[in-house]
Amino acid sequence: MLTHSQIWHAIDALAARHGLSASGLAKAAGLDPTTFNKSKRGGANGKLRWPSTESVSKVLAATGESLDDFVSLVGKGERRSYSRAVPLIGMAQAGHSGYFDDAGFPSGHGWDEIPFPELSDEHAYALEITGESMLPVYRDGDRIILSPAASVRRGDRVVVKTAQGEVMAKQLARQTAQRIELKSFNPAFESRDFATSEIVFMHRIIWASQ
């Protein structure tokens, strides 16, 4: 039997998988941004509200996920995990040496910490956005959670570090054995194209505070 919490957990997990908040997912699907707000999940009289099949269909189309993918997230809805500390540094700091090891995992000193629940990747970390180069997707002060263990697919939002120490958040436009093409969120900033040998790491954004 499906439960109310399972369905809404799946919506939240789907949003996190694509580096979006619940409202960001709704907007991406062409829905009212408040469609999936927590205030919409129950009435003042205590009656539970469920997402419509139409809204679920639209978010699946917008994210490129299948119904089977969504069902697998529903199945995880009753699981519980405790918050743990996730290392946090500023986006500008991430380009400096000493913050990541040779495998691209956070290491060394100088990291702050923030609590974050339900993370299976022990190497997950957070970056704080600085500047306006990633508008309108990410604003100055937003925090993004990254998972080095997460697989990366075309269309995913990622953070890339180059051999020159440049760190940037982009959308993966295309990846081959030789090249990586990255699309900028802000149209005022050009997209980038790199040889794979120029990339130190590319980590998927799995959640963002927006």
Measured CA to CA, the distance from residue 184 to residue 188 in angstroms comes to 8
Q: What is the mean pLDDT of residues 187-210?
A: 91
pLDDT in tens, 105-121: 999 888 998 877 666 78
Q: Greatest CA span in the chain, whole angstroms?
A: 59
* DSSP, residue by residue, the chain: ---HHHHHHHHHHHHHHTT--HHHHHHHTTS-TTTT-GGGSB-TTS-B----HHHHHHHHHHHT--HHHHHHHHTTTT-----EEEEEEETTGGGSTTSB-TTS-B-SS--EEEEE-S---TT-EEEE--SSTTTTTS-TT-EEEEETTS---TT-EEEEEETTS-EEEEEEEEE-SSEEEEE-SSTTS--EEEEGGGEEEEEEEEEE--
Res. 210 pLDDT band, cuts 50 70 90: low
What residue ranges define each of the domains in the chain, with the CATH number in brackets?
4-74 (1.10.260.40), 84-208 (2.10.109.10)
Higher pLDDT, 11 or 74: 11
- The percent of residues in the chain predicted with pLDDT above 90, rounded, is 49
pLDDT above 60 (res 78): no
Quick one: pLDDT band at residue 1, thresholds 50, 70, 90?
Answer: low
| Confidence label for 87 from pLDDT (cuts 50, 70 and 90) | very high
pLDDT, average across residues 181-195:
94
Count of beta carbons in the 10 Å neighbourhood of residue 165:
11
Please report the pLDDT score of residue 102 as a whole number: 86
Query: What average pLDDT is seen over the chain?
Result: 87
CA separation for the pair 11, 38 (Å, rounded): 11
C-alpha span between 27 and 62 (Å, rounded): 10
Of 46-50, 70-74, 201-205, which range is least confident? 46-50
Of the given ranges (28-32, 124-128, 131-135, 196-200), which has the lowest mean pLDDT?
131-135
pLDDT in tens, 89-109: 999 899 998 999 988 999 988
Which one of 18-22, 53-57, 82-86 scores highest in mean pLDDT? 53-57
Q: pTM here?
A: 0.62
Mean pLDDT of 13-41: 88
State the pLDDT at residue 116: 75
Q: Quote the CA–CA distance of 80 and 126 in Å, as a whole number.
A: 22
Reported as a single tens digit per residue, the pLDDT across 131-177 is 888 888 889 999 999 999 888 999 999 999 999 999 999 999 999 99
Phi, psi of 50 (to 5 degrees): -115, 150
